[in-house]
Structures are given as structure tokens and as C-alpha cells.
Amino acid sequence: MKNNYIELVLTAKNEFRAEASFEINGMLFSKVNVKVDTGCPRTSFPMLKLGISDTEAYKLKVRDCGDKRVAKSISFGVNDTKQKKDEDKKKFKSQRYMELNSISFKHTAKDFSLNDLSLGDIDVLVSYDRVGNILIGMDILKKLEIHIGTLATGETVLLACSKDNLSDEYRLRLNSLFDVRKVVY
């Protein structure tokens, strides 16, 4: 069943978590735990975290490294040193992609849904060496109408729907959660 909106409760770790379903590289993934991260500019999928084997990840990395049609980029974590960043940038410029753990590849996640809210086909960054969180970044979140607020119970809730479908169901839920009398769009 597809939803018209998503409703997420902030966890004890101060995270919004959801379940995503999609197809990528011909593989189907269902009800994958993802982190909604407003501080992340691009959605990123560490394939090892999705449960593929090291061997399969290596094969896919070799394929993507050799395919000029697959867009490549490098990104760094908050703990990466300036020295590592500089070294990786040189390797990337020299097209020594297989030596880089910081490399990501642009792919399309087909039929992407977040807590059963269908968002269609979306571009994501895929990495084959990392095992961190699967992050839903601002590239996807900017396509949603999002409201975050605190309920009378003290819970913090994120309510969101596609900007293309501001349904009555969403507006009713928005009003019931946050006592919004009139929302102007």
C-alpha cells in the first residue's frame, strides 16, 4: 500500500529513521533501514550495508570504474584528514579509482519509496567500500514538503509529503499533529 505522506518520530539517538524500497543495479531491496539526514547534501548508499558480499561489491566497483558512462565523484567523512583528502584528490584526478575508498558512483534507484511514499526514480551515490549509514540527503528531501514539530506528548515528529501531492490526507494529519489552522501554499 502506498502512502500520501510519511510520519517519522525522532529516535532516542536524535535521528529520523525510515524504511526504503528500491531497485538498483538490477537488485531489489525492500524495507531497508535508512537515516534521514538534513545535513547530508547527497543521498548515498553503501552497498555493503545493503548486504551484498565483498566479492560482489568488488566486481561492481571494477565495472563502474571502467565504465565512462558512470559518473564518479569523491566525498569525505568528518574524520578524514587534510592529507587523506589531498591524496585521494590526486588519485581521482589520475583516474586511479580502484585505489579509492572515498569514491562514489552515480546510479538510479528505480521505484524508490520511503515508508511507502513513492518518489519515483531517483539518482543516488553508490559506494562499494563503505559500511556507514544509508543516508537520505537534501537532494531528495528538497522534493518534499516537510514539517518538524514537537507534540503535546513531547515527541518530535517529521511529517512530509511530495510537493507534487499536497493531499487533503496530509493536510488533515498536519493539522491534527501541529494544530495548524490554515496552511498557505
- Measure the CA angle with vertex 131, ends 129 and 132; round to 5°: 130
Each domain of the chain, given as residue ranges in start order, spans 15-143
163 Cβ contact list (under 8 Å, min separation 6): 143, 144, 145
| Model confidence pTM above 0.75 | yes
Beta bridge partners, 99, equal none
CATH class of 15-143: mainly beta
Instruction: Read off the DSSP letter of residue 177.
Output: H
Give the pLDDT of the chain (185 residues) as one tens digit per residue: 568 999 999 999 999 999 999 999 899 999 999 999 988 899 999 999 999 999 999 999 999 999 999 999 998 877 889 999 999 999 999 999 999 999 999 999 999 999 999 999 999 999 999 988 999 999 999 999 999 999 888 999 999 999 988 888 888 888 888 876 655 55
Q: Around 116, how many Cα atoms within 13 Å sit in the side-chain half-sphere? A: 5
